[in-house]
Structure 1
Amino acid sequence: MLHPPVEPGQYASEQITTYAAENGITRSMGYTGICWDNAMAESFFATLKTEFYYRRVWPTKAGASQAVGAWIEDRYNRRRRHSSIGQGSPVAFEMQHCNQTAAAPQAA
């Protein structure tokens, strides 16, 4: 296990809120602490854990970190199809968007 378990209310605590504000950190959850505020990130991490992380044994933290980065870059971003973007990969979606933006007429 790479990280110790966290109490559910810890991220919404006054101490974390103060620390984030003092250090210019924008937290990814809403002020109410509702789980749906972070649904996209939660979905990504569920996919990462289910499809990759839990299927292997990680002898070192560095090895796990490097392998997760490689999985995200190769499999998740380039080959895995995403229903929310028309069954394409994120890289293909971004390229299509960039090409459409470049081809659009520019206002004078």
Structure 2
Amino acid sequence: MKAPPGASSKAWATRLFLFSQLTLQPTMTSIADKYPKYYKKTNGLQAIDVYAVHQLFDIQDPSGCIQHASKKLLLSGVRTGGKSAFDDIKEARDTLTRWLELNSPT
């Protein structure tokens, strides 16, 4: 950016630098602080399984459909059953459809 008339190039460059430092400072609020429902403390665990994720996020579903669908999505195509990701995702969809049927207001 060119310095305005009457301003020295060095002074203008200094102002631009200082302005960029003010505007490019990272915010002090972390994403976890901004969206706390999406983040859970794991208390230093090095590994966590899908069942612990369900417990941390307090998934309450007596039918088990939501947990089953979540497991299928989180582990699609990598479980020992030999199903493809496509098949696992299709099963997750079918399970969620069943949950909707069980929980339909009418």
* TM-score, shorter chain, exceeding 0.5: no
The structure where helix makes up a greater share of residues is: 1
For the pair shown, which has the larger CA radius of gyration, 1 or 2?
2
- TM-score, normalised via structure 1 length: 0.31
Q: TM-score, structure 2 length as denominator?
A: 0.32
